[in-house]
Amino acid sequence: MASETIALTAAHDVPQPIGTVLHDWVVTVDHKKLGILYILYALVFLVIGGIEATIMRMQLIVPHNHFVSPQVFNRMFTMHGTTMIFFVTMPILFGFGNYLIPLMIGARDMAFPRLNAWSFWLTAFGGLLLYFSFIGGNGLYGAGNAPDVGWFAYAPLTATAFSPGHSTDFWTLGLLVSGFGSIGTAVNILATIVCLRCPGMTLSKMPLLAWLNLVMAAMVLLAISPLTAAQMMLSLDRFLGAHFFDTLAGGSAVLWMHFFWIFGHPEVYVLVIPAFAFASEIIPVFSRKPIFGYPVMVAATVCIGFVGFSVWAHHMFTVGMNSYANSFFTITTMVIGVPTGIKIFNWIATMWGGKIILKTPMLFCIAFLFQFLIAGLTGIMLSAAPFDWQLGNSYFVVAHFHYVIVGGILFTLFGAFYYWFPKMSGRMYNETLGKWHFWLFFIGFHLTFDFMHVPGLLGMPRRIYTYEPGRGWDVWNLICTIGVFFQIAGTLVFIGNLLWSYFNGKAAGNDPWDAWTLEWSTSSPPVEYNFAKIPVVKSRRPLWDIKHPEDPDWKYE
């Protein structure tokens, strides 16, 4: 596969032996290769996480089902959540960031290429460590099985008394290790954006993708650390008999919740802000208009970055905090809906008066707008603490966050795949297959996650391996499971499209979308050093200025 890349960029080269190619990829410090490694790693785990979800939905298709045992089901939801957040979404977003940021700011690579490679391999190792737990098994010196404590691993369920063996330790240590990788990447992104922008590119002339990744990186530094600290504490409890979360020694289970959610809530903004970045790059190009209100988009994102650290206890409304605490977290959570909503309005205003091209990247972004709107509104419902006392920890919450992560983040990710695939591979993807992917996945997503809100409203809690018939939940669970198959079909079409197009797609050329940011001025795929000459920019859309010298952007910005 990589031999084709080399052939595309330097037609004279003889295809290298597979050993050399593999070695090249393993020792690379090139941000583009590392970006692709992150993305491929995440795609593999996306499929694995999807299998875990499918197993769960098969178990829940009818009440009192016996598809899997409760022990297996509990491992499934733990691994599914942990995998999707830490080994799919974070790596894939880091991967796109790694690939695109230097290109978009006119740099030759990230600020610390070796740190980049170290961070990737650390993250990758963390994932493998977590998954080793499946084959750890009792036979292998009692090393344990996959963790089954839920992805947020509440204490004291994680104490040695309630989680014997080492399954919880695989969770803790796998995430601890990959957490250091995430901090490394965040440091790199921050340093790159602050220090390596090309001449003329002040902060206010950076593409929005760079701005949003900057905010995301800053959040990672401050958000992953609480999780790291809490996991260190949990490990001290489990290995050295410490009492951080040992309720019998006076420790506090709620303290774990606070530490975890101080990480956990900003984490979801870390995940969604790069998704916003993709939408902010794709929607303008496919509406043929610049982004509406660039300064406010930046300000709103920075606002989300700050306020995002003040809302965490809305995950703890049912824990029995006093009414003042509950009210405080209600208002902060509602307030953060304002800058988020503003961004939706700005995207609509970008489309307004434009000439919208309904190709696959844009289809995914339009669906993202509809779906993120709904996700935000169900979030507002959950922010009202008393409403959360009913809806919290139920399938309504599960539907809400899947709406954000799948309907919001994954959809923009698919859009980003199609948008930048020509740049990364040099080939155009197949548009018909792209549309098939979109519609299959769209139908499947809505079948599963629209109707999932209903059992939550009717009292179905989450993380149950089976449920009682006669409570009004049966038909909804059935519909949710059916949707899974459409999503599987869509994903298979997607992977097929990527593979087929990589080998058979038309040559894409430098700029198949007539876009305006610097990455489209390089070859597809770019040469290893990105730019022959470091570009000098005068506006937010440097390629527009080049293509429209009579009407350049810098006159109006």
Partner 1 sequence: MLSLIAAELAIFTIFVVAYLFYIGKSLTGPTPKDVLEVPIFATICLLSSSLTIHAAVSALRNGRVRTFGMWWFVTMVLGLIFLGETGREWHHLIFEKGLTISTNLFGTTYYSLVGLHAFHVTVGLICIAIAMILALLGKVKQEHNERADVFSLYWHFVDVVWIVVFTVVYIIGR
Partner 2 sequence: MVREIHHNSQEPNHKSKRVIQWAPIMTAGCLLAASPVFGNSEDPSQMPNMFKPQSSPAHSIFHLSLFVLAICAVIFVIVFSLLTYSVIKFRRRADDDGREPPPVYGSNQIELAWTVIPVLIVLVLFLATARVIHAIQQARKPPEAIEVIAIGHQFWWEFRYPALGVVTANELHVPSSDRSHPTPTFITLLSADTDHSFWVPRLAGKTDLIPNRVNQMWIDPNETGIFVGQCAQYCGTQHAKMLLRVYVDSPDQFQKWVQEQSKPAQVSESAKEGRRIFETTACINCHAVSGTVADGRFGPDLTHLMSRDTIASGAASNSSENLRLWIHDPDAIKPGSLMPAMNLNQRDLDAVTAYLETLR
541 close to 517: Cβ distance less than 8 angstroms? yes
Site size for partner 2, by CB under 8 A? 112
Q: Which does 394 bind (CB under 5 to 8 A by kind): partner 1, partner 2, none?
A: partner 2
Sole window of 124-132, 191-199, 261-269, 312-320 interacting with partner 2 (rule: CB under 8 A):
312-320
- CB contact set of 164 (below 8 Å; sequence gap of 6+): none
Sole window of 127-135, 209-217, 259-267, 469-477 interacting with partner 2 (rule: CB under 8 A):
469-477
Q: Give me the least distance between CB of 519 and partner 1, in Å please.
A: 25
Cβ proximity to partner 2, 34 vs 153, nearer residue: 153
CA distance linking residue 24 with residue 309, whole number of Å: 41
Q: Give me the least distance between CB of 339 and partner 1, in Å please.
A: 23
Q: If you search the block for the tokens 């539907």, which residue do you land on?
A: 399
CA distance linking residue 225 with residue 218, whole number of Å: 12
Q: Which does 457 bind (CB under 5 to 8 A by kind): partner 1, partner 2, none?
A: partner 2
Q: How many CA atoms lie less than 13 Å away from 321 in the CB half-sphere? A: 22
Amino acid at 191: A
Cβ proximity to partner 2, 94 vs 151, nearer residue: 151
Instruction: Confirm or reject binding of residue 489 to partner 2 (CB under 8 A).
Output: no
Q: Give me the least distance between CB of 231 and partner 2, in Å please.
A: 18
Cβ proximity to partner 2, 121 vs 387, nearer residue: 387
Q: Which does 154 bind (CB under 5 to 8 A by kind): partner 1, partner 2, none?
A: partner 2
Binding site residues, partner 1, CB under 8 A:
183, 186-187, 190-191, 217, 221-226, 228-230, 232-233, 236, 240-244, 249-252, 255, 259, 262
Site for partner 2 in 264-293 (CB under 8 A): 287-290, 292-293
Site for partner 2 in 137-176 (CB under 8 A): 148, 150, 154, 156-157, 162
Q: Which does 39 bind (CB under 5 to 8 A by kind): partner 1, partner 2, none?
A: none
3-state SS class at 414: helix
* Nearest to 540, CA basis, from 295, 238, 278, 177: 295
149 close to 228: Cβ distance less than 8 angstroms? no
Cβ proximity to partner 1, 244 vs 441, nearer residue: 244
350 close to 287: Cβ distance less than 8 angstroms? yes
CA distance linking residue 290 with residue 552, whole number of Å: 12
| DSSP structure string for 216-264 | HHHHHHHHHHHHHHHHHHHHHHHHH---TT-GGGT--HHHHHHHHHHHH
Q: Which does 338 bind (CB under 5 to 8 A by kind): partner 2, partner 1, none?
A: partner 2
* Nearest to 416, CA basis, from 513, 344, 328: 513
Q: Which does 287 bind (CB under 5 to 8 A by kind): partner 2, partner 1, none?
A: partner 2
Site for partner 2 in 86-125 (CB under 8 A): none
Q: Which does 222 bind (CB under 5 to 8 A by kind): partner 1, partner 2, none?
A: partner 1
Dig out the tokens for 106 from the structure. Answer: 């006119």
Site for partner 2 in 30-89 (CB under 8 A): 69-71, 74
Instruction: Confirm or reject binding of residue 401 to partner 2 (CB under 8 A).
Output: no
β-partners of residue 427 are 507
Q: Compute CA distances 452 → 114, 399, 472, whole Å.
A: 44, 5, 13
CA distance linking residue 277 with residue 269, whole number of Å: 12
Q: Which does 242 bind (CB under 5 to 8 A by kind): partner 1, partner 2, none?
A: partner 1
Cβ proximity to partner 1, 76 vs 216, nearer residue: 216
Q: Which does 386 bind (CB under 5 to 8 A by kind): partner 1, partner 2, none?
A: partner 2
Cβ proximity to partner 2, 94 vs 467, nearer residue: 467
174 close to 130: Cβ distance less than 8 angstroms? yes
CA dihedral (102, 108, 114, 115) in degrees, to 10, reads: -30
Cβ proximity to partner 1, 29 vs 115, nearer residue: 115
